[in-house]
Amino acid sequence: MKTITEHLAGYAAYHRDRRNVATHLVGIPLIVIALQILLSRPYWAFDGWFLTPAVIVSVVASLFYLRLDRALGALMTVLLALSVVLGTEIAALSTTAWLSWGIGLFVGGWVLQFIGHYFEGRKPAFVDDIMGLAVGPLFVVAEVVFMLGLKKDLHRAIEERFS
Which range among 35-49, 71-85, 134-148 shows the weakest confidence by mean pLDDT? 35-49
Over residues 133-160, mean pLDDT = 97
Q: If you ran DSSP here, which 8-state letter would residue 149 be given?
A: T
pLDDT tens readout for residues 74-132: 999 999 999 999 999 999 999 999 999 999 999 999 999 999 999 999 988 888 888 88
Q: What pLDDT was estimated at residue 40?
A: 97
Whether the CB-CB separation of 116 and 27 falls below 8 Å is answered with yes
The predicted model scores a pTM of: 0.93
Return d(Cα 42, Cα 141) in angstroms, integer: 28
Reply yes or no on whether the pLDDT at 2 is more than 90.
Answer: yes
Whether the CB-CB separation of 132 and 124 falls below 8 Å is answered with yes
| All structural domains of the chain with their residue ranges | 4-160
Measured in Å, how far apart are the chain's first and last C-alpha atoms? 25
Nearest by Cα to 97 from 48, 159, 37: 37
Q: What is the DSSP string of 94-148?
A: -HHHHHHHHHHHHHHHHHHHHHHHHHHTS--GGGT-TTHHHHHHHHHHHHHHHHT
pLDDT tens readout for residues 47-76: 988 899 999 999 999 999 999 999 999 999
